[in-house]
Structure 1
């Protein structure tokens, strides 16, 4: 561990797999104590175990971010155990049904908004309350390249949520910058995660086509986004406020 986050506390929602797990491990590598908030206990426990095996310290707090009372309890538990909250990565989300707007069921639309958008708002609400007491903090919200541009073949609810997350990020950043709290977002493209492997794994031709469409010539890795989150929380990005950092290998530059 490099120790740049020694004696700091980091919260990662949706930390059971993919970018969430990679970011939790990266926080621990930097010396932070990590709180994993996850609806599924088994995956969260696995992340905690990996951190412990690497010599770090982590705590699992089972949480459904779509439920505001559970989010409030999450922050209370974090402060009860560690006394502070320095960094938060609001990553938990629901992928949503792939359907055009005219075919999207209302219940799927509402589930996506409640988890992805209201969930981020609720997390920020209670994270900010604690950080304002401390007079410092850094929050990174998980968005996506589809928060900046539409994409055919993806859930319209997900696109709407990620656009909304960037808007919430910018507003929160403006509201709290003078209080010593920085709020930013990270916007990855298609990334190799457990979900990606379920959908696309085992098909080398399909993967090769996807990689070829990316100007960098490869598929994004969870570590790519994780390192961006770590940088956005670090003092190295102290003048970066309200920014949606694109981690896409050049997709949006085309």
Structure 2
């Protein structure tokens, strides 16, 4: 920045302005204007070598980690000089900024009592007996309370969500609406583009308002109590197999008070 101001002052002086007025105009002192330029790469060669030595061993280290390693090795440079050189070398990493969601408008939880019109999606998580974590993607038909799918794996990105919907499309067709929260998999371009291509309306609930997705949250509670908390699982394959049998029982045998004490399949 100082070099740029000195260059601007020089241009003003060449144009006929006095040095005093040129320095006042760009905001530098006359001593700065008269000071001869120096090559910071030569003047700070020792600092550059020290930084490069640290980054050779830890390429993703930020400034303070880098400075701490240099101090531990006994380099006498203070943090201001190291930070100046660190920035001049273009090493300062960009901060990760939180993605800003569009404003979600509260919508009434209106449901048509017909199949394949409104579906709800949500994720759950649990652990195997060995401590390994896994996730489940639950898909529920809001009109009939039928559980359409329970996808189980250690990772369920947006591509897997689309794959599950493609399987359901083959089995029973697609709904008009999908109700879901603002998870990263559910707001990704992969899913939103796929829904747009299939003319599916996305109904996002407001952040921190799970009651706006009440039907799938009610299902999650039953799934947690009757399945996830009831068994210890040894591996992912066992979870998939047992959840498949549990889903059949839930849809064909388990009665629901909201459906007149009928199972979803009979309703």
**Which has the larger share of helix?**
1
TM (norm. structure 1) is: 0.26
Q: RCO (CA 8 Å, sep 6+): is it higher in 1 or 2? A: 1
Larger radius of gyration: 2
